[in-house]
Amino acid sequence: MARKVAIIGHIVPTPNAIPVTGGPARLAGMLKLYNYTRVLTDDNRLIDHLAFLKARRGVPADQDFSVWEMYLCASLLLKSHLDRNGSETLMVNYIDADNEERVFARMREFAPDIVVLSSTFILSSTHLCNAGRMIRKHLPNAFIVAGGHHIFTTLMYLDDAEKANYLRSSKLDAFVNDVQGERTLLEVVKAWPERLAGVSNLVFKEPGSDAVRVTPRAVEDNDINSTPIDFAGVEPGSVVHIRTARSCSFKCSFCSYPTIAGDLALMDIDTAVGTFRRAKEAGASALIFVDDTFNVPRPRFEQLVDRLIAEDLDLPWYSFLRCQFVDERLVEKMRRSGCQGVFLGIESGSDRILKNMTKGSAAEFYGPGIRWLKKSGILTVGAFVIGFPGETAETVEETRAFIEASGLDFYFLQPFYYLHHTPIHKLADKYQLRGQGLDWSHATMNAKQACRILDELFLSIKGPTFVNPDYTLWEVAYLRSKGLSLAEIKAYRETVNKMTADQMTRHGAPAGGATSRGA
């Protein structure tokens, strides 16, 4: 009999609206986490930006209106992989406080043997443990397994006893300990419940006891063409995420992805175009390529764009883009193929900081690409980091000047986040870099100073529109799929940004993180 597997793409860690109680000190503490992702309402609630827009547009409370409605690549990939290998699956995009009862009622009706939780967007142990408790409460008899980025990058620092303790505290039954994990998960589904000890890359509880087994590692190197997405069960009109590559060809010193994901693997053009076509046939309204450097290598990217033009599929798409590797002719091809927006990881307007980041670019190289994109009507979201090792008041001013003169449609700022499995960690002594996460210092700045500078920049920068740093391009793509024009999206963001500035002015600039990452 086929195993019944429920796949959960994401569990949102906090309610869309959080009541503010406990006075000014409590509010100040909450603003440190949520200042740039929530707004304070007249009835003393910190409300998620899209939840605010939902109420403002009169969307019924029981109707979904969340960026997490979009189908995430990991859950689509796992569902397709398990379906092809004989499982019966149910895919759940996301669970939050608003849809929890409704979604779990559907899952109980499905009665899964196994529940799979992706940890791609789980950012802390607290988040994972809360998610585990939620699933366990509603599905007490299911075998719950989690895998993905958070699981792998957390377990890499732990010994076997610590891995076992983390699994117990999470209330889950198993961790898939591989950065890819498709093969391991399929073996888990086939081996459950009696033969799990024979599955590699697994941390699991022995059935009927609190004992935990850690099986040997066997690094996966799956053919990226062997796990195409088929989009079964996707709701027509949805935005879907796909990949055509795994890992990244660049080695930016702040980024852990190439270190974790291994060598760059590229999907064949025919397979990539076939995935695009199936998304169109399934009724998708737009597609987001999650490849870290979609347009590199350039010859392959141009070949893919040419094929999309030839196919004439008329499906809007969005992607990450290295705009120093395009020219006016290629940007025009992107427009003709359906590109409507791009995420530009510019990171800094200072050549000194870009060199420290090993970005392989200079600030002057970004300007022409942004102008060509704007001319072609492709919207741009620029990402910037404040506080990277070597950052000074002078380099911050270079970033300010760049943003204001850039011509970007949207931008956002984030403080440097120090991860020990990134290349910059190997240079810690050079920069006198200490700490981790959002608690760090180096020779020229510390995290509190960076966050204070970030607040000052938000309040003073003119030109591009500040966008939610947790949602970035996704928010724009999602709202366009809901029928909002670019002008309407900018008007909404400007309203939210004014409310954010007002709450900072009334309650003091929070000097906190620019995302809820530490929540």
Q: What is the pLDDT of residues 130-176, one digit of tens each?
A: 999 999 999 999 999 999 999 999 999 999 999 999 999 999 999 99
The per-residue pLDDT for 208 is 80
Domain 4-13+68-214 sits in CATH 3.20.20.70: no
Residue 312 pLDDT greater than 90, yes or no: yes
Quick one: what percent of the chain has pLDDT higher than 70? Answer: 97
What are 360-407's pLDDT values in tens digits? 888 999 999 999 999 999 999 999 999 999 999 999 999 999 999 999
Residue 519 pLDDT greater than 50, yes or no: no
The per-residue pLDDT for 76 is 97
Q: What residues does CATH 3.20.20.70 cover in the chain? A: 243-466
Residue 210 banded pLDDT, cuts 50, 70, 90: confident
Q: How crowded is residue 45: how many other Cβ atoms within 10 Å of its Cβ?
A: 17
Contacts of 17 (CB under 8 A, 6+ apart): 41, 45, 46, 47, 48, 51
- Once rounded to an integer, what is the mean pLDDT over residues 413-432? 94
Q: How crowded is residue 300: how many other Cβ atoms within 10 Å of its Cβ?
A: 18
Contacts of 74 (CB under 8 A, 6+ apart): 9, 118, 120, 148
Distances (CA, A) of 45 to 49, 100, 307, 356, 460: 12, 20, 49, 41, 26
Task: Compute CA 284 distance to the chain's CA centroid, rounded to the nearest angstrom.
Answer: 20
The per-residue pLDDT for 518 is 42
- Once rounded to an integer, what is the mean pLDDT over residues 220-237? 93
Q: CATH homologous superfamily for 243-466?
A: Aldolase class I (3.20.20.70)
The per-residue pLDDT for 513 is 53
The per-residue pLDDT for 517 is 44
Q: What residues does CATH 3.40.50.280 cover in the chain? A: 4-13+68-214
The per-residue pLDDT for 516 is 46
Which of 254-263, 462-471, 509-518 shows the lowest per-residue confidence on average (mean pLDDT)?
A: 509-518
Residue 486 pLDDT greater than 90, yes or no: yes
Quote the tokens at residue 293: 């450097």
Q: Mean of the per-residue pLDDT values for the chain? A: 94
Q: Kindly give the pairing relationship between strand 434-436 and strand 439-442.
A: antiparallel
Residue 508 pLDDT greater than 80, yes or no: no
The per-residue pLDDT for 509 is 57
The per-residue pLDDT for 257 is 72
